Structure 1
Amino acid sequence: MSDTVVASAPAEGALETRGIEPVPDNERHGRPMQLFWVWFAANIGILALPLGATLVAFQKLAFWQAVIVALVGSVGSFAIVGVVSIAGRRGGAPGLTLSRAVFGVRGNAGPTVVSLISRLGWETVNTTTAAFALLSLCAILFGTRSEAKATPVLTIACILVFVAFTVVVSGMGHRVLVAVQRWATWVFGALNIVVGITLVTRVDWHAVGSAAPAPVGAMIAGIGTIAAGTGIGWANASADMSRYQSPKVRAGALVASAAAGAGIPLVLLISLGSLLAAGDPSLASADDPVAAIRAMLPAWMAVPYLIAAFGGLLLSNHLSVYSAGLTTLTLGVRIPRVYAVLVDVVVTTAGSIYFMLVAGNFYGPFIAFISMLAVPITAWVGVFVTDMLRRTRYDSAALMDMGRGGRYWYLGGVRWQALISWAVAIVVGYQFTTAGTSSDHWFSGVFADSWLGKNGLGWVITFILAAGLYAAFGGIRRKAAGEVEDVSSSPSEVRA
């Protein structure tokens, strides 16, 4: 029995008709520079500014420390994204589809659900923040009120406008998405540069220069926060884009395209956020981050800033919604890919309406969200990357075969070595995790007050434990018990 929802139609033309089935080698012509622009575009949104502000407001870092933390946290975490994207080049399929080979066609359900929740969560954050930007823009142009709860009809309309722009690109698919991300980066990137230069003129340089450095432990905790809020959240989506990369592309080029593509804008924006917070730490806890940043700008800069904010969030959402559609199909929803995109945006629209019109706080749930999801996603990365040490290619037919007796059926549809390693790492990782802000804890593990927990290293422990357990259970043996070996006989492929 196979996944009948996905047809074998080629991804030719503007509309991508392919679902999650592996892309044939003769249709894979992508180059790493394409992924550079994809990752660059996805990370020029304004959410990086309040994320950088948390380093100063909550971690009490000096500016130079915040820059180091931004560099290590964002570039390092997106290097992991690049490593996972190597699997997409090897197998030509989305990341969670390839994950069937690791966890089994049934055991993969857990990681797939977590990935889908992650994508839907980030889309809700993007949509909510973009709607705030549109509300502010309407207030300037038409004199309406900018408070969401004061104008519920206009708020919902702003949400729907952002969702419509998202669906137009994400629904069309890979070819359109890659083209839009590249060219839109120049437009919105230029606007961001203008806004950034203006914001720099508002920095309280005396406060920046007089700030005392924080302990090394605070920097370590900051790296964890930045990694969880940037690259870790994208790791399980990276192969979704790299599946169209040419099989001849070198692994190192894929890692570099992700690390540099995302790292350049993130380091600049996170560092700018930390500069701004030195004089005004309220940015880190603002219910409406768009309005908080706008208040720091001169009146004439408001419209360009809001357009840049909207555009940056839109570029991030394009990629997230596209990935969520593929993840939905991997979960077994039997609809065409474009309809899966529509299902996902309906969910995020409802979530955005809740956060803007019902919930009283925005960034409390946001910080809790990235903290909680960083653990299971990192556990998946630990298992998946460890598996990549021995598995240099994937069986295309077996990835789509959900029936008994398939190569990836294993024992009852589950590869227990992977699933147990993943689950145990999650349970242990959460014991070192605190979710939420310092004033609003949603969850606190048993060892959250330990040195490791206080320094935000729960996700690191999770990765090491997941990878170590999987290796100990035989996950990196050249041939696992009861499994047909999935390795290439090509020396160059093994080296890559």
Structure 2
Amino acid sequence: MPENTRTTEDPPAPVESPVLSRYEQRGIEPVPEADRQGNPLDLFWVWFAANLSILGIPLGVTLVALGMNVWQALLVAALGAFGSFALVGVISIAGRRGGAPSLTLSRATFGVRGNIGPTLVSLASRLGWETVNTATGAFALLSLSALLLGTNPDAKQTPVLALVCIAIFVGCTVAVSGMGHAFLVTVQKWATWIFGGLNVLVGAYLVSTVDWSAVASTPAGPISAVIIGVGTIAAGTGIGWANAGADMSRYQSGRVRAGALVASASAGAGIPLVFIIGLGSLLAAGDSSLAAAGDPVAAVRSLLPSWVAVPYLVTAFGGLLLSNHLSVYSAGLTTLTLGFRIKRVYAVVLDVVVTTLGAIYFILISDSFYGPFITFISLLAVPITAWVGVFVVDMIGRRRYDADALMDLSRSSRYWYRGGVEWRATASWAVAIVVGFLFSTARVSEAEVWFTGALADTWIGSNGLAWVATLVVAGALYAALGGVRAGRATKEA
């Protein structure tokens, strides 16, 4: 009888269940077929939880500041969030095929050395988001302590308390991210119900305070504002997560359909984002002072009585923590892809140390926070979308990844190419980045502009479509250079 054949008398094969009492031993090496038992619903909860963050409120306020009314803002939020996370879902397909994290699979596209550039960009993105999450989470705890214990909410006046708040947030992050995939999926699922419910309760109260006459009288903005808004939301949400798509989907069963992976990411993230971004835009439309606030999150807190402020701050802390869980887990895998020969859990700790130092700087030293945050995510959208353009074109022709070659960094690797670099992919990525920055303006405020690209005043640049130009140029150039054939020619086993 063939080895895999069963009779009706055979007992059912045992199904491995997640062991939540020990951390994930696997690093970036591809997951064996037998261990891929995941389903799209797992990913739905993971992405839903990761996007319950109150950082969506400033994005909603930004849409109103661009001149849109609430209905336009809701449309823009839906297009930007659902659309950008559909890209995350597309990258997830590669994770199901290869069973490895996104940037590890990217070695097959760029070469084991050529992949270092995209990996560094991805790590910078993850560390940046984690620093923002940690700093904002600590601010939420400081405000909560002020309400419940009467302490001073000013971090610079209470530096020891601020450090304690950072340590609490970091400790909660490592407790989940360090444990690994199975534990992370379970925590994200159940936390979604808890913090999702709190978001609804707090949101209901905030809606009841809105000046509906002011909302109704807000005129519609120009189509240019809508176009810019879609780009802003896409850059601030799904684009930042695109190169992490395969990090969670690597445990998905080979039987899962590609469309289900796209839908799980798009809907899982899109639903909470539209709710939170829409809430931010509604509040800003009802109170014009929010659009001019330097810290819209703190400004919203000032509108609340204490009995609502407490659940608001708890919700804020929880949502930021859920986002950070996934980001730190992904950053740990990305760190290992750079060639660090350490256990995954140690990579998580290393990344958390970096983001803790960044959070300390933001909270205790820096005088500005959200301005650089928006500028930061806008700039990183360019190299990330350039990577997406090349990687997706490569996926068209590549159905399998050689597991051994992905882990082989020597000259004998199938993915060594020439000098460790796949020049067509790397050149397309680099050219697209240059094009993207030519259309970009790095503006922190009216008085502070980091740089202005030579084509920033064109229709593409002035409408915030630098990331779209980057995506199109990267994919088109790589395709023209034979990118689709590159995957087929490798003859993966």
| TM-score, normalised with respect to structure 2 | 0.94
Structure 1 unmatched ranges of 5 or more? 1-9, 488-496
Q: 1:285 to 1:129 in 2, by over 3 A?
A: farther
Q: Cα 1:282–1:413, aligned 2, differ >3 Å: closer, same or farther?
A: farther
For 1:334-413, list aligned pairs within 5 A. 334-413=341-420
- Residue of structure 2 aligned with 1:51, choices 40, 59, 64: 59
Kept in 2, the 8 Å contact 1:204–1:279? The answer is yes
Q: CA deviation at 1:333?
A: 1.2
Among 109, 114, 117, the alignment partner of 1:110 is 117
Say yes or no: does 1:203 pair with 2:210.
yes
Match in the other structure for 2:50: 42
What does residue 490 of structure 1 align with?
none
Q: Residue 178 of structure 2 aligns to a residue in which SS?
A: helix
Q: Secondary structure at the match of 1:147?
A: coil
CA distance in 2, matches of 1:240, 1:366: 24
What's the C-alpha RMSD, in Å, of the aligned pairs? 1.4
Quote the sequence identity (%): 68
CA deviation after TM superposition for structure 1 residue 302, in Å: 1.2
Distance in 2 between residues matched to 1:185 and 1:479, nearest whole Å: 38
Which residue in 1 is equivalent to 2:240? 233
Deviation at 1:293, TM superposition (A): 1.5
8 A Cα contact 2:394 2:486, kept in partner: no
Give the aligned partner of residue 453 of structure 1. 461
Q: Does the CA contact (< 8 Å) of 1:103 and 1:419 recur in 2?
A: yes
Does structure 2 conserve the Cα–Cα contact (< 8 Å) formed by 1:432 and 1:458? yes
Deviations 1:112-138 (A, max 9, x none): 000000000000110111011000011
- Distance in 1 between residues matched to 2:297 and 2:74, nearest whole Å: 22
Q: Tell me how far apart the structure 2 counterparts of residues 293 and 12 of structure 1 sit (CA, whole Å).
A: 41
5 Å-filtered alignment, 1:73-222, equals 73-222=80-229
| Matched residue, 1:444 | 452
Q: Alignment partner of 2:427: what SS?
A: helix
Alignment of 1:404-483 (within 5 A): 404-439=411-446, 440-477=448-485, 483=489
SS in 2 for 1:163: helix
Q: Could you say if the C-alpha distance between residues 88 and 284 of structure 1 is closer, same or farther in structure 2, counting changes exceeding 3 Å?
A: farther
Q: Are residue 327 (structure 1) and residue 334 (structure 2) matched? A: yes
CA distance in 2, matches of 1:213, 1:286: 22
User: How many residues end up aligned between the 2 structures?
Assistant: 475
Q: Using the TM superposition, give the Cα deviation of residue 337 of structure 1 relative to its aligned residue in structure 2, in angstroms.
A: 0.3
Map of 2:492 onto structure 1: 486
Q: C-alpha displacement at 1:486, in angstroms? A: 3.2
Structure 1 residue 27: Cα displacement: 0.3
The residue number in structure 1 matching 2:8 is none
Kept in 2: contact 1:367–1:435 (CA 8 A): no
Q: Please give the per-residue CA displacement for 1:444-476, whole angstroms capped at 9, x wherever unaligned.
A: 211112111111000000000000010011101
Please, which runs of 5 or more residues in structure 2 have no aligned partner?
A: 1-16
Q: How does 1:277-296 map to 2 (within 5 A)?
A: 277-284=284-291, 286-296=293-303
SS at match of 1:443: strand
The code of the aligned residue for 1:99 comes to S
Give the letter aligned to residue 492 of structure 2: D
Is the 1:129–1:289 Cα contact (8 Å) retained in structure 2? no
Counterpart of 2:13 in structure 1 is none
Q: Structure 2 vs 1, CA of residues 281 and 21 (structure 1 numbering), >3 Å: closer, same or farther?
A: farther
Q: Partner amino acid for 1:210?
A: S
Match status 1:32 vs 2:40: yes
CA–CA distance in structure 2, aligned partners of residues 82 and 327 of structure 1: 18
Pair 422,11 (structure 1): closer, same or farther in 2 beyond 3 Å? farther
* In structure 2, distance between residues paired with 1:172 and 1:357: 30
**Paired residue type of 1:146:** P
Note the alpha carbon deviations across 1:219-267, whole angstroms, 9 max, x for none.
Answer: 0000000000000000000100000000110000000000000000001
1:295 partner amino acid: S
CA distance in 1, matches of 2:414, 2:18: 26
**How far is 1:441 from its partner?**
2.2
SS for the counterpart of 2:451 is: strand
CA distance in 2, matches of 1:183, 1:283: 33
Normalising by structure 1, report the TM-score: 0.94
Output the CA distance in 1 between the equivalents of 2:319 and 2:349.
21
Correspondence 1:260-299 to 2 at 5 A: 260-284=267-291, 286-299=293-306
- Distance in 2 (alpha carbons) for counterparts of 1:282 and 1:393: 53
Q: Deviations over 1:167-207 (max 9, x none)?
A: 00000000000000000111111111100001101212122
Which stretch has the larger CA shift, 278-287 or 35-44? Answer: 278-287
